[in-house]
């Protein structure tokens, strides 16, 4: 089978740093993606890691360790608008479908 | 760029009727489109993958006769929920990808279906 595990909810204050971990077990692996979804909205792409290491995109960074089947999304300098659900997703092959984790709801408080 | 639209955004129908949802890539040609279903505060569950001009590939447990998918062109895919029942009420989201950028999927805004 295949599974992606991530925490269900995280609460933090503005300006803080949040790390959302994702462990995966899949029958194929090409890369790990992260998507953000605000309530009632569409998921939007945040980052993609195919190789081990850290990818930095502004306040958000994503990390992957293929040997550990593990990745994380790091949200820095949290802002109120970052309150949303964050999903890790495994891409099993180029151009192929995504398998999503259960999502982590991040609540940013003043 | 890379905008995906869905229509309608919200639909309410009576039990037993069929509902068609359109997914369009507005500024790119989508080689592959995906259809997801999402329950409140839950993850996205892939229903099917469709490529232009070929039959959709359905995920295990998804009834192909219930959820008809047509991908007639590189910019349009449709999902028809046939003989809808209250348990089909959900948020349906499509996404699209294109050649050269397979690692990212572009999602539509979703369609909220309520079956009475």
For B3-25, the pLDDT digits (tens) are 999 999 999 999 999 999 999 99
Q: Of A16, A91, A92, A102, which Cα lies nearest the Cα of A47?
A: A91
For A16-47, the pLDDT digits (tens) are 999 999 999 988 899 999 999 999 899 999 99
CA distance A56 to B22: 35
Contact B43 A101 (CB under 8 A): yes
Q: What angle do CA A16, A22, A24 make, to 5 degrees?
A: 175
Q: By the CB < 8 Å criterion, does A48 face chain B? A: yes
Chain A residue numbers touching B43 (CB-CB < 8 A): 87, 100-103
**pLDDT band, residue B52 (cuts 50/70/90):** confident
Q: By the CB < 8 Å criterion, does A98 face chain B? A: yes
Q: Is B61 left (phi over 0), alpha (psi -120 to 50) or beta?
A: left
Contact B105 A98 (CB under 8 A): yes
Calculate the dihedral angle through the C-alpha atoms of B8, B14, B19, B21, rounding to the nearest 10 degrees. Answer: 20
Chain A residue numbers touching B49 (CB-CB < 8 A): 96-97
For A39-94, the pLDDT digits (tens) are 989 999 999 999 999 999 899 999 999 999 999 999 999 999 999 999 999 998 76
């Amino acid at each position: 089978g295949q599974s992606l595990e991530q925490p269900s909810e995280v609460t933090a204050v503005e300006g803080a740093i949040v790390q959302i971990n994702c462990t995966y077990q899949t029958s194929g692996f090409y890369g790990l993606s992260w998507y953000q979804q605000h309530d009632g909205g569409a998921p939007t792409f945040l980052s993609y890691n195919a190789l081990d290491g850290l990818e930095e995109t502004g306040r958000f960074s994503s990390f992957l360790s293929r040997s550990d089947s593990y990745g994380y999304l790091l949200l820095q300098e949290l802002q109120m608008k970052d309150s949303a659900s964050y999903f890790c997703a495994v891409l099993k092959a180029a151009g192929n479908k995504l398998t999503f984790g259960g999502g982590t709801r991040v609540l940013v408080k003043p | 760029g890379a905008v995906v639209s869905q229509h309608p955004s919200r639909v309410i129908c009576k039990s037993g009727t069929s509902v068609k949802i359109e997914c369009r890539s507005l500024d790119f040609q989508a080689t592959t489109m995906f259809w997801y279903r999402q329950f409140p505060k839950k993850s996205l569950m892939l229903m099917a993958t469709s490529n232009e001009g070929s039959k959709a590939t359905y995920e295990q447990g998804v009834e192909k006769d219930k959820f008809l998918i047509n991908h007639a062109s590189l910019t349009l895919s449709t999902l028809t929920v046939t003989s809808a029942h209250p348990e089909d009420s959900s948020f349906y989201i499509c996404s699209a990808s294109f050649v050269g950028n397979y690692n990212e999927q572009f999602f539509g805004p979703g369609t909220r279906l309520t079956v009475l």
